[in-house]
A and B are shown apart, each in its own frame.
Chain A
Amino acid sequence: MNELPGDLLYTKDHEWLRREDDGTVTIGITDHAASSLGDLVYVELPEVEQDVDSGGEMAVVESVKAASDVYAPISGSVVAVNEDLADDPEKINSEPYGEGWIVRIAPSDDVDESELMSPDDYQQLLDELDE
């Protein structure tokens, strides 16, 4: 199993969040989520400036196998989407924590980190799933 990046926060829905210096939050899906889905072939992205609610549907990732919703882990407004995914959705498989990012959100409230998981906690969740 690959090492999880230590500078990210995680959710039980297998998404990751990175707090950027400008206060925005970049979001993607984890390596575990991407490999469970299989080779990705299409990503439906939200509109820039669209408001998203924590827990609401924000994007759809589709693999050769199935379609899967990506839920917003925080509330806020979409400030950027990864346009490159339109032509290269497989970037989510090859670089889930880098070039495979999905959206960037300006949070409407302070990010409540207690609702999110540390790398250690997320690793523990993955270990439990493996058993």
Chain B
Amino acid sequence: MGSRTPLYDQHVAANARIVDFGGWDMPLHYGSQTEEHHAVRTDAGVFDVSHMTIVDLSGEKVREFLQRLVANDVAKLEDYGKALYTCMLNPAGGVIDDLIIYFLADTEYRLIVNAATREKDLAWIREQAAPFDVDVLERAELAMIAVQGPHARKLAAPCIYAEWRESALDLKPFNGLQADDIFVARTGYTGEDGWEIVLPAANAPRVWDRLLAAGVVPCGLGARDTLRLEAAMNLYGSDMDESISPLEAGLGWTVAWEPAERDFIGRAPMEALRSSPDRRRFVGLLLEDRGVLRNHQKVVVEGIGEGEITSGGFSPTIGRSIALARVPAGNYDRAQVDVRGKLLNVRIVKTPFVRNGQIRIDV
């Protein structure tokens, strides 16, 4: 038996198919992954993401510490509640994890890191934090619920205390606020509008039940993966890991190069890669033949070289197979993928594939 979130009984009651995910017993789907996927694209779905690790940092030098720890620059966070997506790098410039940082107060930030990398992340953060005299506090007693879809905020609003409801509904994308003992942020991992809600574990089942009663569809990890793939959002461990630079994982936009004197961990090796003509591309693929692209399949670019699919699957919204892939440098827009010994044709497309319910590529 793995670890269980405060919503485990809710999952079982909703007929979830439970699978192991990084040591957690999590719902894969509640009957149909495809229907859950469509619910998020067209209406509203809810995900239990309580397995994710919440870490609160506090101290006089916490900002200085984060400017050293991560590749993006927390100086961009000017207003309380604002969120920043970034990577935490090792000295070689590889990705230890990707995370979201919320600016809570001048001496206080909240990090949300992946469940599967919890232990190494906490060890690394604590080690780096020591010279800055920053407190590192894991908030394992908190649950987290993501409610996503065009109608998600409207349907979830009654779960926010009345005196905070209007402010919560006024949040701009990538902003959050503390509403009594609930932290609500307009963020997510689906490419749709919605909220991620951090709340005391004891309150989570009641909020979950209330969302379901309002017609929000419970969604499992399966739909979470197809939704994030369509939105071309990276998955740690698949699209990047400690051997991969953010610059070869489509995450160059999360690296803050200015100011040039900010010496974040992993900066020097990345400077070299930044100007290298051999830097690999990270691209979206659309399968033109019938079949399904899968992780680790080989991408063949005739006359240039080979690459690999890092995340592949079937897009329920498009009705075709799509993938993210790391491929050789060069100027080309077609390739082939080795699917069980057969070379199938793919087209390189600009991502995201789908955003806010709309297909964004030519199909």
Contact = CB atoms under 8 A, between A and B. Distances in A.
Interface stretch (A3-11, A23-31, A39-47, A72-80): A39-47
Given A38-B222, A39-B34, A41-B314, A62 B292 contact: yes
A86 B291 CA distance: 10
A1 interface: no
5 contacts: A38-B29, A38-B32, A62-B314, A65-B222, A90-B34
Nearest to B31: A35
B314 A38 contact: no
Interface of B: 28-29, 32-34, 37, 222, 226, 290-292, 294, 313-314, 316, 321, 340
A44 B340 CA distance: 11
A129 interface: no
Contacts, number: 38
Given A38-B29, A39-B32, A39-B33, A64 B314 contact: yes
Given A39-B33, A42-B291, A42-B292, 6 more contacts: A38-B28, A42-B321, A60-B340, A62-B291, A64-B222, A67-B340
Interface in A47-74: 60, 62, 64-67
Given A38-B222, A60-B340, A67 B292 contact: yes
Contacts of B28: 38, 65
B291 A64 contact: no
A65 B33 contact: yes
A41 B33 contact: no
A44 B34 CA distance: 20
Contacts of A38: 28-29, 32-33, 222
Top-10 shortest CB links A-B? A41-B314, A39-B34, A62-B292, A64-B33, A42-B292, A38-B33, A39-B33, A64-B314, A39-B32, A64-B226
A23 B132 CA distance: 79
Most A C-beta atoms less than 10 A away, residue of B29, B34, B37, B340: B34
Interface of A: 38-39, 41-42, 44, 60, 62, 64-67, 86, 90
A90 B222 CA distance: 17
Instruction: Give chain B's interface secondary structure class.
Output: mixed
A67 B296 CA distance: 13
Nearest to B342: A44
A67 B340 CA distance: 10
A42 B314 contact: yes
Contacts of B340: 60, 67
Nearest to A41: B314
A58 to B, nearest CB: 14
Contacts of A44: 291
A62 B171 CA distance: 41
A62 B287 CA distance: 15
A65 B292 CA distance: 10
B290 A86 contact: yes
A41 B292 contact: yes
Contacts of B291: 42, 44, 62
Contacts of B313: 64
B286 to A, nearest CB: 15
Nearest to B37: A64
Contacts of A65: 28, 33, 222
Contacts of B222: 38, 64-65
Most A C-beta atoms less than 10 A away, residue of B32, B292, B321: B292
A43 to B, nearest CB: 10
Contacts of A60: 340
Contacts of A66: 294
A109 B194 CA distance: 60
Nearest to A39: B34
A38 B290 CA distance: 19
Nearest to A90: B34
Most B C-beta atoms less than 10 A away, residue of A38, A64, A65, A86: A64
Contacts of B290: 42, 86
A58 B292 CA distance: 17
Contacts of A39: 32-34
Nearest to B226: A64
A38 B220 CA distance: 12
A86 B290 CA distance: 9
Contacts of B292: 41-42, 62, 67
Contacts of A42: 290-292, 314, 321
Contacts of B37: 64
Contacts of B29: 38
A41 B226 CA distance: 13
